[in-house]
Amino acid sequence: MIALDACIDCVQAAVNGEFPEDDSERERIERALTEWADEGYPIITTAPDDEAEGFFSWSPCGVCGSHLGGARLAMVALSVDIEREV
């Protein structure tokens, strides 16, 4: 499990399946989520504790890397155990 501070766009996409209307923004976030899945973390969801209150930050989004300042929310990336047959 990896703790992340995610931008609102990523939270909306990962939790609600709602992507930005802007095509390039939508693609950017879809790509970020796909990359997380490819790395073995297909599930990105809100942090289980109650620290999920948003805060303002100029730090890059932990999910998509957006450098835009804005609200960040505590999220976690969850891995799955995939049995690989070699």
Q: Which residues bind Zn ion (CB under 5 A)?
A: 7, 10, 61, 63-64, 66
Token code pair at residue 59: 């730090």
Minimum distance from CB of 8 to Zn ion (Å)? 8
* Nearest CB to Zn ion, comparing residues 40 and 70: 70
Could you give the CA distance from residue 86 to residue 75 in angstroms, rounded to a whole number?
33
CA dihedral 72, 4, 28, 23 (to 10 degrees): -40
Minimum distance from CB of 85 to Zn ion (Å)? 35
* Nearest CB to Zn ion, comparing residues 58 and 83: 58
